[in-house]
Amino acid sequence: MQFEDIGQTTPARTLVVEDSDWEQLSRTDAMRLTTLFLAARRFEEKILMLDKLNLVHGPAHSSIGQEGGAAGCIAALPIDTLMNGTHRAHHQCVAKAVNALYEDGMDPVASGLSLRMRQEIQGLMHEILGLKDGWTGGRGGSMHLRRADLGIMGTNAIVAGGIPIACGHAFAEKQRQSGKLMVTFFGDGAVHQGATHEAMNLAALYGLPMIFFLENNKYAVSMSVEQSTFQTELLTRPQGHGIAAVKVDGMNPFAVWLATRWAQEYIEREGRPAFILAEVYRYYHQSSSIPGSAFGYRTRDEENAWKARDPWLFLQRELTGRGILNADELAAIDAAVTDAMDAAAASCVEGAGSSARIRPELWPEASSVDANLNSDMREFDGVQFAEAEDYAAEDMETLSYIEAMARTMGARMAEDERIYVFGEDVANMGGGTVGATRGLTETYAGRLINTPITENGFCGLATGAALSGLKPVVELMYSDFFLVAGDQLLNQAGKIRHLFNGSASVPLVLRTRIPGAEGYGSQHSMDPAGVFALFPGWRIVAPSNAFDYVGLMNSALRCEDPVLVIEPQELHKRKTLVPKKLDYYIPIGRAKRVQEGDQITLLATLSMVERCVQVAAEMGVRADIIDLRTLSQRDIDYDTIGASVMKTGRVAIVEQTTRGASLGALIADEIQRRYFDYLDQPVQRVTGRWAPPTVSQALERAALASEDDIRTRLAAMLQESGLTAQPGNVHALRA
């Protein structure tokens, strides 16, 4: 038996600093590097002091000891570089903010920090303390930090949660040919997350201009690298994805500076991402000023050995010993930085010692808690809203639902170069797996992006691309797959606007297919509306016909919020009259009455709209049938619903989905709160059964709601109310 080497050629190396390398570091570079390092160190010390006074609400993850990695990296990069990070990011954000404002010719020895630098340091400190003058009004606190005009695109409390988003920022910059780099910072704990590997795969696949920067501080809370993985050589991870990587001593800020210069040159030369692993050490426990040895997961000897290698001691020794800066110059920079930190703390605290407290006038108003959950919709100013009855017959043509999907996307892509479509197979097979991109693959080949089967990764990439100004459209082959991408879609995209107090928007469109009674089983058949409705940052539209699809998709593509578009496969071939010009909009938040009646109100969604029309006609029930169209909780059209309930006194909510996934319970609760006095009987619901549909045709039919379920519920409501039906005496407003 014989084995042959597979010929892995992706480099994974350790950087060794030579004496001659110091010639690359000018006095100006040394001042910048020192300033960034000390800004991070003194800021962290001040935060720990405030934490000891119990003035920091929530965690404050200290990075004291590991600032050399962030300072060395950021000091080597252009000031317009973009970055994001994870929950331990104070040092990165301070260094990035100072570097973004570090003008050519600046001399911190002579002039200290600029006024703008001091203001941004104050804003960051206010943010960590949860105050209204913080970077995002105090909503982000310590773990969620964003200052986009300084290139800080948002840090993330979910380990590895920001790494796919970083790919999106890099993707957007590559498409714009801006030349900007993206750096994503993360720790050794993130290496084991699937999101990290999905992101590295996408970055390598698409040739994204980004640096993956791993701060290996040896512990994820108390779990050592050795306890977390069998393969402790972490450079094998990027190597496995074809990303060139270098390991460097992160306690040596100059070595990190050199490694980052290599990474920047490599990205510019090769058009591929790079990976830096900086070996660093955090002196304190996860989120406190207590050393880790106090909790028993490491020894004092270990901590003391790393403290002897402190980056500040290193800089003082090497910079003075090599004649680059002298002790007085280092002391002057330290004094200027320390003064800025003292002033920042003084701006938000009054009193001293145990009597210290946050200045009460700095807290945000409690009444602002719900502000900036969604866009204020001003992006729709001046658009043409229309319904089918607004058009003359000669202006209409017959289109199927699936034809409307492709044509609408093509029309909007022709107008808006920001639109990119992401998904599995979207650029293959002449129009994707169901034909939703038919006719687009040649004209927009560079904007239809085939993705690997990595939903969490490409949904995160789309989120980052949206944050950077693109208009991503994500196609999930089946709705259930959103669960694989739950963090990126629900925890990230759905919360970002509110979390960052309106300073960020995620104009992302998510298209999801529900197969209905097609035998795909319980892992491919979920109606996602009930889950997405729990996250108020999401808008949800549910078009039941081709006309509505065009108008609602146009609105989704214009909206500055993430929008879920639900596309039932059962409707794909159903044809409807649609205007020849696909330039109209249907407002998000407006329902449609499809049949007039005065006996019972039926609130229907998706494929159940036509079923309600048919069953009401067969039974002779004078039903007021309303197509809800918008299903996000804050957007449901209760004005239209209320007018109908006041007329009929009876209402049923009709959904095809299973009982547990139904949105109807939330709608029923709201109706009874708003219109209780007008109801003659409790709000009724028509749904499928508790069990999800399985592949068995008989069980699938039993699991999903059908015409028989509508018929049974209507009959019971009529009987309870003493009403009679008149078959053949009902006419729909829309066929």
Rg value, the chain, Cα = 29
Which domain CATH number covers 683? 3.40.50.920
Res 6: pLDDT: 81
Q: What is the mean pLDDT of residues 469-482?
A: 95
1, part of any domain: no
> CA separation (Å) from 313 to 38, 320, 354, 445?
12, 11, 32, 54
6, part of any domain: no
Which domain CATH number covers 503? 3.40.50.970
Are residues 545 and 422 part of one domain?
Answer: yes
Q: What is the pTM of this model?
A: 0.96
297, part of any domain: yes
728, part of any domain: no
Task: Give the pLDDT confidence of 114-132 residue by residue, as tens digits.
Answer: 999 999 999 999 999 999 9
- DSSP codes joined into one string, 150-208: GTEEEE-SSTTTHHHHHHHHHHHHHHHT----EEEEEEGGGGGSHHHHHHHHHHHHHT-
Res 525: pLDDT: 85
Q: What is the mean pLDDT of residues 83-96?
A: 96
Q: What is the mean pLDDT of residues 711-734?
A: 80
Query: Which of 446, 677, 422, 503 lies closest to 134 in space, CA to CA?
Result: 503
Q: Which of 482-486, 718-722, 731-735 has the lowest mean pLDDT?
A: 731-735
CB under 8 Å to 8, separation ≥6 — which residues? 239
Q: What is the mean pLDDT of residues 495-511?
A: 97
If you count them, how many residues does the chain have?
735
**The last residue of a domain, from among 579, 605, 621:** 579
384, part of any domain: yes
205, part of any domain: yes
**The last residue of a domain, from among 333, 364, 395:** 364
Distance CA 652, CA 658 (A): 16
Yes or no: say if 473 and 504 are a contact pair by the CB < 8 Å rule. no
What is the domain range of residue 557?
378-579
Token duo for residue 120: 């941004």
Are residues 618 and 717 part of one domain?
Answer: yes
Task: Give the pLDDT confidence of 233-247 residue by residue, as tens digits.
Answer: 999 999 999 999 999
**The last residue of a domain, from among 511, 544, 579:** 579
Res 203: pLDDT: 98
Distance CA 286, CA 293 (A): 12
Q: Is 524 a catalytic residue?
A: yes
- Residue from 498, 524, 572, 731 carrying the catalytic annotation: 524
Task: Give the pLDDT confidence of 539-577 residue by residue, as tens digits.
Answer: 999 999 999 999 999 999 999 999 999 999 999 999 999
142, part of any domain: yes
Res 287: pLDDT: 82
Chain mean position to CA 185: 17
Are residues 121 and 34 part of one domain?
Answer: yes
Percent of the chain with pLDDT over 70: 99
Residue 364 has pLDDT above 80, yes or no: yes
How does DSSP classify residue 634? Answer: G
Are residues 550 and 449 part of one domain?
Answer: yes
Distance CA 730, CA 620 (A): 6
Residue 733 has pLDDT above 70, yes or no: no
Backbone φ/ψ region at 77: left (φ over 0), alpha (ψ -120 to 50), beta: beta
Task: Give the pLDDT confidence of 433-474 residue by residue, as tens digits.
Answer: 899 999 998 899 999 999 999 999 999 999 999 999 999 999
Token pair 């409705």 in the structure block, residue: 533
Query: Which of 537, 581, 577, 544 lies closest to 560 in space, CA to CA?
Result: 537
Are residues 166 and 283 part of one domain?
Answer: yes
Confidence of residue 730 (pLDDT cuts 50, 70, 90): low
Are residues 383 and 326 part of one domain?
Answer: no
Are residues 617 and 520 part of one domain?
Answer: no
Token duo for residue 134: 């913080």
Are residues 85 and 31 part of one domain?
Answer: yes
Task: Give the pLDDT confidence of 639-649 residue by residue, as tens digits.
Answer: 999 999 999 99
Yes or no: say if 686 and 718 are a contact pair by the CB < 8 Å rule. no
Are residues 395 and 439 part of one domain?
Answer: yes
Query: Which of 60, 104, 57, 61 lies closest to 79 in space, CA to CA?
Result: 104
Are residues 385 and 321 part of one domain?
Answer: no
Which alpha helices (DSSP H) does 651-696 contain, by range?
Answer: 664-675
Are residues 678 and 570 part of one domain?
Answer: no
Residue 152 has pLDDT above 60, yes or no: yes
Task: Give the pLDDT confidence of 174-209 residue by residue, as tens digits.
Answer: 999 999 999 999 999 999 999 999 999 999 999 999
Judging by DSSP bridges, how do beta strands 82-85 and 182-187 pair with one another?
Answer: parallel
For residues 172 and 292, the model is more confident at 172
Domains identified in the chain, total number: 3
Are residues 573 and 452 part of one domain?
Answer: yes
2, part of any domain: no
Yes or no: say if 294 and 284 are a contact pair by the CB < 8 Å rule. no
CA-angle at 568, arms to 563 and 569, nearest 5°: 130
> CA separation (Å) from 684 to 526, 633, 663, 709?
22, 18, 13, 12
Res 735: pLDDT: 38
Mean pLDDT of the chain: 95
Query: Which of 432, 427, 422 lies closest to 455 in space, CA to CA?
Result: 422
